[in-house]
């Protein structure tokens, strides 16, 4: 249980730091959520393959692999 809490804390802190430093991963310049994909969306903004959801998944995998 202590290990699970430690991993959750690491994930939450890393996601919060990246969210504060790089909010463009989650939001478009107009404040709406970014769309996943390639090309442009209906409003003319570029879609992104690397979104906040993708970042969270990568962080969870890395924390599970390296935090003992």
SS3 sequence, 4-49?
Answer: HHHHHHHHHHHHHHHHHHCHHHCECCCCCECCECCCECCCCCECEC
* pLDDT for res 33: 86
**pLDDT tens profile 34-54:** 888 899 999 999 888 888 888
Place of tokens 């996601």: 15
Q: Are the CB atoms for 67 and 6 separated by under 8 Å?
A: yes
* pLDDT for res 53: 86
Mean pLDDT (the chain) is 90
* Domain boundaries along the sequence of the chain: 2-66
**pLDDT tens profile 53-64:** 888 999 999 999
Band (20; pLDDT cuts 50, 70, 90): very high
């Amino acid at each position: 249980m202590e290990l699970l809490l430690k991993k959750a804390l690491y994930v939450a802190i890393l996601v919060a730091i990246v969210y504060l430093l790089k909010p463009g991963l989650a939001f478009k310049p107009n404040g709406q959520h970014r769309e996943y994909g390639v090309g442009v969306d209906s409003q003319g903004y570029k879609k992104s393959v690397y979104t906040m959801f993708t970042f969270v998944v990568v962080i969870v995998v890395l924390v599970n692999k390296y935090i003992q």
